[in-house]
């Protein structure tokens, strides 16, 4: 194909794999991210165009949208991650990284995850929406955590899914689709930032029906499909890619 695809958070991890999948199909791919050196390296590796941008910063997002220009066909909002894992481990307790007894700490932790996982997608989508061509696709990346996690990360991803469902109704008349990919555990990424124990890993894989961890390619192929002509009647949906760890009907 010969589309123009924008992938936020495309400098590493799942975002980079998704960007590479579209690039392999002949698409022009723009990747964004905060770490300029890593972004430039990834762009050179996969043949993408880099634009340094913090997706939670309105000014940077506006500048990125102007640099990307009109004529986009696909937007994949990959930027995000559980910001709780970026917080320093607590020394006073074996509980999580948020001091639940300190409301200021709770507020900071929740705002960080909402900014990273909800606001980033809202800002980017809003900024480039006018430049998306009819027949285009908006793909947001959620999480299985939206279904059960009593954390700011799970809440942010649940809000992302709800917002995307409403967004579909807004952009549908323009010939655009909007969907969420909701991954379960995916191996080969730094999502847990070294905090995934063997016991937890065994539990996550044991919850699947196929007995394996998800792979980055599982998400990349799903994103490619949602942006393909065969998926034009799929919109407003959350597609769960978790090996059966969470089922719907």
Residues designated catalytic: 153
Report the alpha-carbon distance of residue 235 to residue 132 in Å, rounded.
16
On whether the CB atoms of residues 243 and 209 are closer than 8 A, the answer is yes
Query: Which DSSP string do the residues of the chain spell out, in sequence order?
Result: ---EEEEETTTSHHHHHHHHHHHHTT-EEEEEES-HHHHHHHHHHHT-EEEE--TT-HHHHHHHHHHH-S-EEEEEE-----GGGGSPPPSS-SS-SS-TT-HHHHHHHHHHHHIIIIIHHHHHHHHHGGGEEEEEEEEEE--GGGGT--SHHHHHHHHHHHHHHHHHHHHGGGT-EEEEEEE--BTTS-TTTT---HHHHHHHHHTSSSSS-B-HHHHHHHHHHHTSGGGTT--S-EEEESTTSS---
- CB neighbours of residue 211 within 10 Å: 10
| Edge-first strand listing for the sheet containing 177-183 | 49-52, 28-33, 4-8, 72-77, 132-141, 177-183, 238-241
């Amino acid at each position: 194909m010969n589309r123009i695809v924008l992938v936020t958070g495309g400098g590493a991890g799942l975002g980079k794999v998704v960007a590479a999948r579209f690039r392999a199909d002949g698409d022009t791919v723009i990747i964004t991210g905060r770490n300029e050196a890593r972004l430039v390296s990834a762009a050179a590796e996969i043949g993408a165009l880099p634009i340094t941008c913090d997706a939670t910063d309105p000014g940077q997002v506006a500048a990125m949208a102007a640099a990307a220009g009109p004529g986009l066909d696909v937007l994949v909002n990959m930027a995000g991650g559980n910001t709780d894992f970026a917080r320093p481990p607590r020394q006073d307790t074996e509980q999580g990284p948020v001091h639940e007894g300190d409301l200021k700490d709770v507020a900071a932790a929740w705002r960080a995850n909402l900014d990273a996982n909800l606001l980033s997608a809202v800002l980017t989508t809003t900024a480039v929406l006018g430049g998306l061509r009819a027949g285009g696709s908006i793909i947001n990346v959620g999480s299985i955590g939206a279904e059960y996690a009593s954390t700011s990360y799970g809440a942010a991803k649940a809000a992302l899914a709800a917002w995307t469902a409403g967004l579909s109704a807004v952009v549908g008349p323009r010939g655009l689709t909007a969907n969420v990919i909701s991954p379960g555990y995916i191996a080969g990424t730094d999502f847990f930032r070294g905090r995934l124990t063997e016991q937890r890993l065994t539990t996550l894989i044991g919850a699947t029906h196929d007995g394996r961890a998800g792979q980055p390619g599982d998400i990349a192929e799903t994103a490619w499909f949602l942006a393909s002509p065969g998926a034009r009647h799929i919109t407003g949906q959350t597609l769960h890619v978790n090996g059966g760890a969470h089922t719907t009907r």
